[in-house]
Amino acid sequence: MDTNKEIYAHSITPQNSLFDLRLAEIWRYRDLLMLFVRRDFVAKYKQTILGPVWFFIQPIFQTTVLAIVFGGMAGLSTDGVPPLLFYLAGVTAWNYFSNCLRATSNTFTANAGLFGKVYFPRAVTPLSAVISNLIQFGIGLFLFLLLYAFFVITGSTLRANSALLLLPLLILIMGFMGLGLGMLVSAMTTRYRDLQYLVEFGVQLLMYATPVIIPLSAVPAKYQSIMLANPMTGVIETFKYGFFGTGTFSWPLLGYSTGFTLIAFFVGLAVFNKTEKNFMDTV
């Protein structure tokens, strides 16, 4: 009987170090991970009239509004790229990062009831959010490729190039940056709930400091330092450059984005692992 108690106690107590990724344990819980992925993906538009169609409608509406306001009314440059295609490229990339950040930033508060009942690797929850949003990103990328093909067929001078080979790296950067920052915010919201609201409108404001709205080459010199400080700038510029052949491609800028992502991920992981040991006392 005592032996059973010891085994049970060990099974529900996380024994990881701060920087332990615990990949082997996550692999053992891969069925649970896929269950969470399905839950996150299906529940997003469950019991809505249009259902999965919203995955297409949302980026289309968002792109149309940006094209009308910034491309039409404000007359901002798009580096010679058709406005709809230019803004959809930025929206597709930005939404993956922002959705990952939003979804993972409330991991502890949103799952407190589940975490308090049974032990499993807590990182499974934010990781499932990143994977489910990756599926949504794939849908958005498919929509973008359809529009891209339309403009190519109709004679637009779009020059895809070898920078497209970096697309898998860009996807990893966006996902892990959102995951790292999200885990950090999630750990902090166990004590400071205000951060949830800060993330919501902060992410929206941050989009205007990226090349989603305007290419880096068209930003006045005195404001470029602000945009260059945004780690998503290098990702979005490289994404657009690979498909359009216009804009800015810079290895140092992409290196900055990669370095920021690594730091954000490991800092977020360390704080997340530390918080999971006693978060039930503060949630």
Domain presence at residue 23: no
Domain presence at residue 1: no
Domain presence at residue 5: no
Domain presence at residue 24: no
Contact 29, 124 (CB under 8 A): yes
Coil, helix or strand for 75? coil
Q: Which residue has tokens 């984005």?
A: 257
Measure the CA–CA gap between 23 and 31, rounded to whole angstroms: 14
Amino acid at 201: F
Domain presence at residue 49: yes
In this structure, the number of other CB atoms found within 10 A of the CB of residue 160 comes to 13
Longest CA pairwise span in the chain (Å): 76
**How is residue 250 written in tokens?**
């810079």
Domain presence at residue 59: yes
Total number of domains in the chain: 1
φ/ψ of 72, rounded to 5, equals -95, -65
Domain presence at residue 19: no
Domain range for 236: 32-281
Q: What is the pLDDT along the chain (283 residues), one digit of tens a residue?
A: 444 444 343 444 445 566 667 788 888 988 999 999 988 887 777 767 777 788 888 999 999 999 999 988 988 999 889 999 999 999 999 999 999 999 999 888 877 777 777 778 888 999 999 999 999 999 999 999 999 999 999 988 888 999 999 999 999 999 999 999 999 999 888 787 778 788 888 898 899 999 999 999 899 888 899 999 999 999 999 999 999 998 889 999 999 999 999 999 999 999 988 887 766 545 5
Amino acid at 137: F
Domain presence at residue 43: yes
